Amino acid sequence: MRGRHILIIGGGIAGVTAALELAEMGIPSTIVERENRLGGRASVFACKASEKCNKCFACVVDNQIQEVTRTPQVKIMTRTTLEGVSGKPGRFKAQVQSNGGKTLLEASALLVATGVDFFDARCKPEYGYGMFQNVITAQDLDEMLRSTGGVYRPSDGKIPSKIAFFQCVGSRDETIGHLWCSKVCCAYALRFMKAIRHQNPEIQTSFFYIDIQPLGRSFQSLLQSCRQDEGMRLIRSLPSKIYGRRTSTDLRMRFIDPVSGEIVEEGFDLIVLSIGMTPRQDADSIAQVLQIPKNEEGFYRSPPENSGIFLSGACKGPRDIANSIIDTKSTAQKIIQYLGGM
């Protein structure tokens, strides 16, 4: 009988869910998290409900994080990084570096749940992120919604009247070599629009896209309700450049109007860039330590099943909270299988 202990690398939603799921199965685990708190990317997301829940799963993240801190089988090490791994599958010895120095952890299997980076919108200078105050990323908007409960223009703190959402910023883009779809951004932006319009029907929103990508079961009803809403325009056209001044509340752009079919110029006072997901910048270092293969895009590919190393969550490729949770639960079962049953 092997001493069962799983080392989870990454304390985002995938890592936290894995720890909880394993704890329920009676297997202790240690979470190694680089930041000083658990939760990762998903923990700053705000609730995007309108008159009903829009299934963004942000509330689940909060619940899971609180739950895991109260689960005695889970040891949490924040501000800790993985330095090296020795030993053989089933009996790994992992060296981790934390504030208190180096520690050697024994683990029967490793679970990598390092997640993704968000695309740096500054790499698309034509959109002026970082230059124009009122051009923000969807992540900025999320944090704003969570901490203030509303939407405001960063330049003067006033409520915007016209918001534009730009899709596929950093995804499906050959010019920067990102030949993948980030899968979640369409649903994410549409939910935002629903939530914002529900809170303040005065705000007009426009959604600029290439193709609308469905996500999950309730997407049909979400899309339908968005199409029926007069204050929400879905425009199949991506403006190539944003014109404006630093604190300007009039950011102008040109696009093809879906009604007239002509190129029109229009101003918006807040522009939200739906940034895509990219492989982590430090993906290589962990891949090298653990010898995880990568795919063409730079996301991890599953190592052979007998290697004792498992992947879960968005490090395998973009996915949303719901899919990360489901994926992690399935990985937990694979770990059980690997450990030879209960």
Partner 1 sequence: MVSFCPRIVAFCCDKSGYVAADMAGELGMSLPEGLDIIRVPCAGRIDAFHMLKALENGADGVLIFACHEENCQSLTGNLMAKARMGYVYGIMESIGLERERLELCNLATNNGVKFAETVRRKCEDLERLGPSPVK
Partner 2 sequence: MTSSDDCRIAVFVDHCEGTLSHLLDGEMIEYISGLPGVVSCDQDENLSSPERLEMLTGRLAKGRADRVVIVGGSPRLYEKSFRRLGMTEGMNPYMFLVANVREQVAWTVHDRERAKEKAKAIVAKRVREAPFLTPIGREKVKVPKNAVVIGGGMVGIRAALMLADANIGVTLLTRAKDIGGKAIQLTHFYDRPDDVSSWFVKQVEGVKRHRNIEVKTSVELKGFEGYLGDYRINLQNSLGKREVVKGSAVILTAGCDVVPNTEGIFGHRCFISPPQMEAMLRNAKKSLKDEKGNPIRTVSFLIDLVNETIKIDSANAVKNALLLKKDPDCTVYVICRDVKVSLDGMEKQYREAREKGVIFVKYNDTPRFSLVNGRVNVEVKEVSTRMGGDEYSLSILSDLVVVSEKFAPPQDNEMLSSILGIPLPEEGYLMEDNPQFTQMRANRRGVFIAGGCRYPQTLDEALVEAEAAASGVTALLSQEVYEFDLAIAEIDPEKCAACLTCPRVCPHSAIVVEQYAERNIYITGGYKKDFKWRAARVLPPQCYGCGICVSSCPTKAITLKHQTDAEISLQVGP
- Closest approach of partner 2 to the CB of residue 1, in Å: 13
Neighbours of 110 (CB within 10 A): 26
Residue in 148, 240, 247, 285 binding partner 1, rule: CB under 8 A: 148
d(CA 145, CA 64): 21
Site string for partner 2, 203-242 (x = CB under 8 A): --------xxxxxxxxxxx-x------------x------
The residue range among 32-40, 86-94, 113-121, 331-339 that interacts with partner 2, by the rule CB under 8 A, is 331-339
Non-local CB neighbours of 143 within 8 Å, separated by 6+ positions = 44, 46
d(CA 301, CA 326): 18
- Closest approach of partner 2 to the CB of residue 16, in Å: 13
Could you tell me the two tokens for 143? 């944090």
The residue range among 18-26, 93-101, 108-116, 128-136 that interacts with partner 2, by the rule CB under 8 A, is 18-26
Q: Does 72 bind partner 2 (CB under 8 A)?
A: yes
d(CA 155, CA 267): 16
Q: Does 63 bind partner 1 (CB under 8 A)?
A: yes
Give backbone dihedrals phi and psi of 282, rounded to 5 degrees, phi first: -95, 20
Non-local CB neighbours of 313 within 8 Å, separated by 6+ positions = 10, 12, 13, 14, 15, 113, 115, 319, 324, 327, 328
C-beta of 66 vs 86, nearer to partner 1: 66
Work out the widest C-alpha separation in the chain, in whole angstroms. 71
Q: Are 233 and 208 in contact (CB under 8 A)?
A: no
- Closest approach of partner 1 to the CB of residue 203, in Å: 17
Considering CB distances under 5 to 8 angstroms, the limit depending on partner class, which of partner 1, partner 2, none binds residue 214? partner 2
- Closest approach of partner 1 to the CB of residue 1, in Å: 37
d(CA 174, CA 94): 39
- Closest approach of partner 1 to the CB of residue 56, in Å: 9
Residue in 4, 28, 62, 229 binding partner 1, rule: CB under 8 A: 62
CA end-to-end span of the chain, whole Å? Answer: 11
Considering CB distances under 5 to 8 angstroms, the limit depending on partner class, which of partner 1, partner 2, none binds residue 325? partner 2
The residue range among 32-40, 94-102, 108-116, 253-261 that interacts with partner 2, by the rule CB under 8 A, is 253-261
Question: CA gyration radius for the chain?
Answer: 22
Q: Is 340 left (phi over 0), alpha (psi -120 to 50) or beta?
A: left
The residue range among 35-43, 130-138, 159-167, 332-340 that interacts with partner 2, by the rule CB under 8 A, is 332-340
Element (H, E) at 15: helix 13-24
DSSP 89: T
Strands 117-118 and 277-278: antiparallel
Q: Does 293 bind partner 2 (CB under 8 A)?
A: no
Select from 281, 270, 288, 238 the least CA-distant residue to 118: 281
Considering CB distances under 5 to 8 angstroms, the limit depending on partner class, which of partner 2, partner 1, none binds residue 336? partner 2
* Total of residues contacting partner 2 (CB under 8 A): 53
Q: Does 180 bind partner 2 (CB under 8 A)?
A: yes
Q: Does 104 bind partner 2 (CB under 8 A)?
A: no
DSSP, collapsed to helix, strand or coil, labels residue 44 as helix
C-beta of 63 vs 101, nearer to partner 2: 63
Q: Does 75 bind partner 2 (CB under 8 A)?
A: no
What does the binding site for partner 1 look like in residue numbers (CB under 8 A)?
45-47, 49, 51-53, 55, 58-59, 62-63, 66, 146-149
